[in-house]
Structure 1
Amino acid sequence: MSSSLAKIRILLLVAAVFFGGAVVPTRCLYFNFPSFPNNSTEHLKLSNNAKIFKDAIQVTPDVRVASIANESGRAVYKVPFLIRNNGKIASFNTTFELNISPVSTPVGGEGLAFILAADGSRPGDSDGQWLGIVNASTNGTPEAQIVAVEFDTRKNFPQDIDSNHVGLNLNSVFSIIEQPLSEFGVNLSSGISVFAMIRYDGENISVFVSMSNKTEDLLKNNVIFQALNLSILPDNVYVGFSGSTSDFTQLNCVKSWQFNGTDVSDGRHKRLWIWLTVGVVGGVVICGAVIGLVYHFWMRKRVLNYPEEPYEGIEHQLQHISIAPRAQKFGLRELKKATGNFNPKNGLGKGGFGTVYKGNLMNRDVAVKKISEDSRQGKQEFIAEVATIGSLHHKNLVNLIGWCYEKRDLLLVYEYMPNGSLDKLIFGCDKMGASSWETRQNIICGVAEALDYLHNGCEKTVLHRDVKSSNIMLDSKFEAKLGDFGLARTMHRTDQTHHSTREIAGTPGYMAPEIFLTSRVTAETDVYAFGVLVLEVICGRRPGNPMDLGSYDGSIAHWVWEFHKEQRLVEAVDERLEGQFVREEIEYLLILGLACCHPNPLQRPTMRNVLQVLKGEANPPILPDERPSFVWPPMPPSFKDDTDSSLKDSQLTPFTELSGR
């Protein structure tokens, strides 16, 4: 609840007291069914064969003497939920207990789903594989108007990951994201109660599933965290459950259910605000007026002393995103003590998002990032970084230890990198001069592995959007670890190829030319930044800022391409290496860097291609002598993403040994 809304309510209360009454607001949509006695039907809409039986909702029939094959049902709360009003999007939190008991042998089927639907009634012919969500006619069509979180117990389609998973479905039974539950110790078809929590904050949906009813155990199993736009739904929806059986049968039971949805009304919807006026005697009027005035002045003083929280609701979001079970929450006092009250002497670096300090927590060196109050997108950057890096695991990614939000401060705690950032190694005094060519190779390979993991190794493609030398951290062995995910975005691996931005994000010098034209970031724009990084490490030269010159003539890529054009590429190499390198290796890497910086995004190699070159499984791409001009739309590619047979049979020697994750 916002503070402004709270103030309005207080003033209304005071006004009502003055005019001889008391005002009592009621919640828009809140209900709690610890169980389902027979009179629960007064509040529920049961479709087809859904029934209340044994203090539970039997979404599909529980009949011992008749067949329960090829059935479907739906049970929803009778009062619709307003999810959208004048641009405001509602949030909700719901928890429920499911019990799915196989009847047919050796396995049951088909499944249950939590739904938000335009229609509270079950669609016809929605038994079997359709889970009561859609049917053959409406599947995948806008007319379906339904969002479902499926608890699927049978693999019916090639798209299904297994017969024990949770999926998020939009107007279809084909999930946009699925998560097998076996790795979380959950068996939907065990005949034992399964507990679930679903949270939606207006932008992202989180699904938690556990065999335990303890909240702390439930929050450890964040099986889905996904951006979700509810624009496919009308403003008012029904919330509830659907389920089905096929020739394979099971009992689909909901044993308890709680729902809490926020109010996005503007006061014109009677069901959202019901004002009950109760007459009171004159003495109560006077007392109420005095109390109201005192409270008003106290609140005014409090607001002046304690300004409104700038990031309202952030604590709620952090409670349920995927890092919560693994990353520790720290108190501000702990982090102040660890960093010497954020002593500038402990500063490790400063960027657009904030300052990083060295600290010591529990006898362990850490890096504490304090988000700048001047950052225009402080909350978004904070949430993006926590949500993204907290769900990733790779030896070449910086490890997130914990977080803190307290007294308007946003802080992140990382593992400490004793050798600092790559840019300091390259340009700080003579450190880089002392480093060997092998060290530089290893750094390049480490960053390549990190980006290949983000683009190809995660459940969802992750676009880093800010690959640069200052975001590459070096551990005690100079192993590279990619960090700073404040601009990172995730995409599905289906038909989504890019992420559109309202404003251009990234660091000049590392940004691909098409970003300025399209405001779109893709895997190819990450590849471009990686190419700039490769050239920067090999040449010991800053990438430059093409914006200063109004063109790309000032970039390191253009500078190196001139050496390539004149067939003296090795002369671009950092003089501090003093020739201590294998000429063929360094030329290959320079060509690879230029290929990644190709003006045509479709001509750039993928990060998978890059690793093939680094491992000696493929030759570097062939480049023209002249640097191609940037043309939009881009010309069709000649460098294929898919590895052909000639690459598989390559006998090239790898530059360095790449170990597994």
Structure 2
Amino acid sequence: MASFNSTFVLNISPYSGKFVPLGEGLAFILTANPGLPDQSQGKWLGIVNNTSSLSQQGIIAVEFDTRKSFDEDIDDNHVGLNLNSIYSIKQVSLTDYGINLSSGSNVTVRIQYDGKNMSMFVWLTNEEGKTMNNPVLSWPLNLSDYLPDKVFVGFSGSTGEDNTERNCILSWDFHSSDIDENPNLLWVSIVVPIVVVLLVCVAFYLYWRRACSKEDPEEAYPRIEEQIKESSMAPRKFQLKELRRATSNFNLKNKLGKGGFGTVYKGLIGNQVVAVKRVSKDSRQGQQEFIAEVTTIGSLSHRNLVKLIGWCYESNELLIVYEFMPNGSLDKFIFGDEKLGTEMQELSSKRRHSIICGVAKALDYLHNGCEKRVLHRDIKASNIMLDSEFNAKLGDFGLARMIQRSEKTHHSTKEIAGTPGYMAPESFLTGRATVETDVYAFGVLVLEVVSGRKPGNQNEQNSFNNSMVCWIWELYTKDRLLDAVDTRLDGQFEEDEMGCIMVLGLACCHPNPHERPSMRTILKVLKGEEDPPMVPVEIPSFVWPSMPPSFKSDGETTLQGGQLTPFTEITGR
């Protein structure tokens, strides 16, 4: 008889942050038939047909119930063991354990079956890390009484017509073993991989030592100069000694800040004040982002883009030289300098509008004004620089990518690029950057600028929700949109103009990417040439694949297709 150990993290929460009746829950299942029974929605959890409480196919389920749907249920917050039936042979309320399945918190579950002793055990741990030494549920069980030799393992869940919730499995690990297998073979399966790994490590070490003894110090990042010179407008190349002299050998007194993959210093080259970014040598993505930034922004020219002056690659140092922005980044004016605990000069309503317009012009240029469309992929307040007149300039093109306008409208990656809080919900599923994902980030920035609030962490409870966007949308639902305006403005703003900007921000943050306006439309709205797009009174639920796109009047194409691309991690900056 086989044994198994299944560990997963589940998150059950209401849609759109609204407290509506929840239901019905989900279940971890072992079944002889992976097909979905007919009429098994709602309280039947996709396990059995609603015409019968019993399964004819053979199924064992550990249910996590968030609704008291049957008289036999002990409450609306319990775990139960079901054997060929919707009714639990054993159930335990989780309330006494301090666990609320439908609270939106992460709950770690471990289900273990001991094939030798023929027993099932279930442990649960809540998000705060209150571990339990003893299982919540245990039951003697012979799997062969209910299941054939080969079974399907997975999850089944459902919601009712009036009782909705979002059931998410955030991670899952499953291991099984046959207790009857030959012990000698078991030892072989353990020892052989260890020996192979050791041999590979020794070979790699010897190769590394040999390579290091011959390595040219200029070859740590091969072909960088060649790749940069292949770009149509390669910027000026500096010598390392010039930039050391300009920054007083990267003196800490000249340090302006630290970004996603390097530190920025103030410098003086001739009579020109510059900003010099020094790429961290231990940065995983340093080389890739260095090349992306130099080749992308180096070939662009717009008054609302930070100007790239030059670059340097020497003695394994990667450096980028920009024009100096006296007022620094926008985030310090919205939130103050958190490290120093100081407040910056307040931004008037007029100045905030001007900054939003400047960023919109920059993005419209990237999306529509270049020979190759540019996707920035990391629009946020800390990447908006302000000159001496508070003109906004978009910078940090380390994640930017160029795409052919006639061939495709997206850039696919295995890692999700961007900053949590500014990332469109579809990014977590597709791994794609599109003009629509840039527009979403711009919408978050707009709401951030007018409200003075940070967007929040999308990964804290639910990857698809943004706390600031949801909060402002709920105020919009209650016809109290202007309550979200930064209190530091003290009411000194034009209500119609501010309302228009905030509705535009919500339109940019629409969960359906095909409903978001283009940057060309956004600019027209900001100039007063068009009304803002219609925005639903209540925030729509995120659904993927989204509805097919309609043709847009400005001729822009959008993301098409519903094939999901796998990803490995979120790359925040």
Contact 1:371 1:409 in 2 (8 A): yes
Task: Please report how far the alpha carbon of residue 573 of structure 1 lies from its aligned counterpart in structure 2 after TM superposition.
Answer: 0.4
Match of 2:432 in 1: 520
Distance 2:414 2:215 in 1: 35
Alignment map for 1:309-328 (pairs within 5 Å): 309-324=219-234, 327-328=235-236
Distance 2:554 2:226 in 1: 45
Match of 2:543 in 1: 631
Alignment: residue pair count: 343
Task: Tell which deviates more after alignment, 561-570 or 549-558.
Answer: 549-558
Task: Please report how far the alpha carbon of residue 364 of structure 1 lies from its aligned counterpart in structure 2 after TM superposition.
Answer: 1.1
Distance 1:510 1:432 in 2: 23
Q: Which amino acid aligns with 1:587?
A: G
Task: Please report how far the alpha carbon of residue 374 of structure 1 lies from its aligned counterpart in structure 2 after TM superposition.
Answer: 2.1
Q: Which amino acid aligns with 1:314?
A: I
Contact 1:605 1:641 in 2 (8 A): no
Question: Cα–Cα, structure 1 residues 308 and 434, in superposed 2: closer, same or farther, change >3 Å?
Answer: closer
User: CA RMSD of the aligned region, Å?
Assistant: 2.1
Question: Cα–Cα, structure 1 residues 554 and 453, in superposed 2: closer, same or farther, change >3 Å?
Answer: closer
Match of 2:449 among 537, 549, 560: 537
- The yes-or-no answer on 1:479 pairing with 2:387 is no
Task: Please report how far the alpha carbon of residue 560 of structure 1 lies from its aligned counterpart in structure 2 after TM superposition.
Answer: 0.8
Match of 1:288 in 2: none
Match of 2:254 among 346, 365, 379: 346
Distance 2:525 2:225 in 1: 45
Q: Which amino acid aligns with 1:386?
A: V
Distance 2:291 2:360 in 1: 25
Distance 1:317 1:552 in 2: 37
Task: Please report how far the alpha carbon of residue 642 of structure 1 lies from its aligned counterpart in structure 2 after TM superposition.
Answer: 1.3
Unaligned runs of 5+ in 1: 1-298, 645-661
Q: Which amino acid aligns with 1:313?
A: R
Match of 1:422 among 319, 322, 330: 330
Distance 2:211 2:299 in 1: 42
Q: Which amino acid aligns with 1:641?
A: K
Q: Which amino acid aligns with 2:327?
A: N
Task: Please report how far the alpha carbon of residue 309 of structure 1 lies from its aligned counterpart in structure 2 after TM superposition.
Answer: 2.7
Match of 1:382 among 272, 279, 290: 290
Distance 1:398 1:338 in 2: 19
Distance 1:345 1:544 in 2: 32
Task: Tell which deviates more after alignment, 514-523 or 373-382.
Answer: 373-382
4+ residue runs over 4 A deviation: 299-302, 304-308, 429-433
Question: Cα–Cα, structure 1 residues 346 and 635, in superposed 2: closer, same or farther, change >3 Å?
Answer: same
Match of 2:474 in 1: 562
SS at match of 1:380: helix
Question: Cα–Cα, structure 1 residues 302 and 536, in superposed 2: closer, same or farther, change >3 Å?
Answer: closer
Q: Which amino acid aligns with 2:294?
A: V
Match of 1:330 in 2: 238
Q: Which amino acid aligns with 1:318?
A: I
Contact 2:326 2:386 in 1 (8 A): yes
Match of 2:461 among 546, 549, 556: 549
Distance 1:643 1:320 in 2: 32
Distance 1:476 1:435 in 2: 14
Distance 2:549 2:494 in 1: 31
Match of 1:369 in 2: 277
- The yes-or-no answer on 1:608 pairing with 2:517 is no
Q: Which amino acid aligns with 2:243?
A: L
Match of 2:510 in 1: 598
Distance 2:227 2:426 in 1: 34
Question: Cα–Cα, structure 1 residues 398 and 617, in superposed 2: closer, same or farther, change >3 Å?
Answer: same
Question: Cα–Cα, structure 1 residues 535 and 360, in superposed 2: closer, same or farther, change >3 Å?
Answer: same
Q: Which amino acid aligns with 2:233?
A: I
SS at match of 1:513: coil
Contact 1:433 1:577 in 2 (8 A): no
- The yes-or-no answer on 1:642 pairing with 2:553 is yes
Contact 1:445 1:614 in 2 (8 A): yes
Q: Which amino acid aligns with 2:552?
A: D
Q: Which amino acid aligns with 1:570?
A: L
Contact 2:444 2:505 in 1 (8 A): yes
Match of 1:360 in 2: 268
Distance 1:568 1:451 in 2: 30
Task: Please report how far the alpha carbon of residue 427 of structure 1 lies from its aligned counterpart in structure 2 after TM superposition.
Answer: 1.2
Alignment map for 1:70-219 (pairs within 5 Å): none
Alignment map for 1:201-350 (pairs within 5 Å): 303=213, 309-324=219-234, 327-350=235-258
Match of 2:44 in 1: none
Q: Which amino acid aligns with 1:337?
A: R
Task: Please report how far the alpha carbon of residue 502 of structure 1 lies from its aligned counterpart in structure 2 after TM superposition.
Answer: 1.6
Task: Please report how far the alpha carbon of residue 345 of structure 1 lies from its aligned counterpart in structure 2 after TM superposition.
Answer: 2.0
Contact 2:292 2:397 in 1 (8 A): yes
Contact 2:217 2:316 in 1 (8 A): no
Match of 2:310 among 399, 402, 415: 402
Task: Please report how far the alpha carbon of residue 473 of structure 1 lies from its aligned counterpart in structure 2 after TM superposition.
Answer: 0.5
SS at match of 1:411: strand
Question: Cα–Cα, structure 1 residues 440 and 301, in superposed 2: closer, same or farther, change >3 Å?
Answer: closer
Distance 1:602 1:410 in 2: 39
Question: Cα–Cα, structure 1 residues 319 and 637, in superposed 2: closer, same or farther, change >3 Å?
Answer: closer
Q: For each residue in 1:204-259, what CA deviation from the matched residue of structure 2 results, as whole angstroms up to 9, or x when unmatched? A: xxxxxxxxxxxxxxxxxxxxxxxxxxxxxxxxxxxxxxxxxxxxxxxxxxxxxxxx
Distance 1:307 1:410 in 2: 13
Contact 1:463 1:522 in 2 (8 A): yes
Task: Tell which deviates more after alignment, 593-602 or 349-358.
Answer: 349-358
Distance 2:308 2:380 in 1: 19
Distance 1:636 1:563 in 2: 29
SS at match of 2:221: coil
Task: Please report how far the alpha carbon of residue 575 of structure 1 lies from its aligned counterpart in structure 2 after TM superposition.
Answer: 0.4
Match of 1:491 in 2: 403
Contact 1:323 1:386 in 2 (8 A): no
Match of 2:417 in 1: 505
Q: Which amino acid aligns with 1:355?
A: T
Distance 2:463 2:370 in 1: 35
Q: For each residue in 1:538-558, what CA deviation from the matched residue of structure 2 results, as whole angstroms up to 9, or x when unmatched? A: 000111111122344443111
Task: Please report how far the alpha carbon of residue 643 of structure 1 lies from its aligned counterpart in structure 2 after TM superposition.
Answer: 6.0
Taking structure 2 as the reference length, what is the TM-score of the superposition? Answer: 0.58
Match of 2:488 among 576, 582, 585: 576
Task: Tell which deviates more after alignment, 360-369 or 425-434.
Answer: 425-434
Q: For each residue in 1:501-528, what CA deviation from the matched residue of structure 2 results, as whole angstroms up to 9, or x when unmatched? A: 1211111100101011000110000000
What is the percent sequence identity of the aligned residues? 64
Contact 2:218 2:315 in 1 (8 A): no
